[in-house]
């Protein structure tokens, strides 16, 4: 019952059009939040609220694009140690 009431209030708040309605309904909610996922900041600095765009933002944050491959031997490598 409690979860249903929270979900109802949550939906009511997200569909409100007037700021007075929002403050009136926020008093009814008593500060509880139903696990909403806040907007994310994209690489361009814009806030992203679309779930597919949020997925792209998280993908680029946690899985950055692969970098160029590096050769195993470099010009400034030290001389290899002799084998035993």
Per-residue pLDDT reduced to its tens digit, 12-46: 767 666 666 666 666 665 666 555 678 889 888 89
Residue 50: per-residue pLDDT: 85
Residue 28: per-residue pLDDT: 61
pLDDT over 70 for what percent of the chain? 70
Closest CA to 54 of 65, 64, 43, 69: 43
Residue 25: per-residue pLDDT: 64
Distances in Å between the Cα of 50 and the Cα atoms of 5, 21, 24, 54, 71 are 25, 24, 27, 6, 40
Alpha carbons 34 and 50: distance in angstroms, whole number? 18
- 65 pLDDT above the threshold of 90: no
């Amino acid at each position: 019952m409690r979860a249903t009431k929270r979900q109802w209030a949550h939906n009511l708040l997200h569909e409100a059009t007037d700021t007075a309605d929002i403050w009136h309904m926020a008093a009814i909610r008593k500060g509880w939040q139903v696990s909403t996922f806040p907007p994310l900041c994209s690489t361009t600095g814009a806030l992203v609220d679309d779930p597919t765009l949020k997925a792209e933002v998280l993908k680029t944050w946690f899985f950055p694009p692969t970098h160029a491959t590096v050769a195993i031997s470099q010009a400034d490598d030290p001389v290899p140690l002799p084998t035993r």
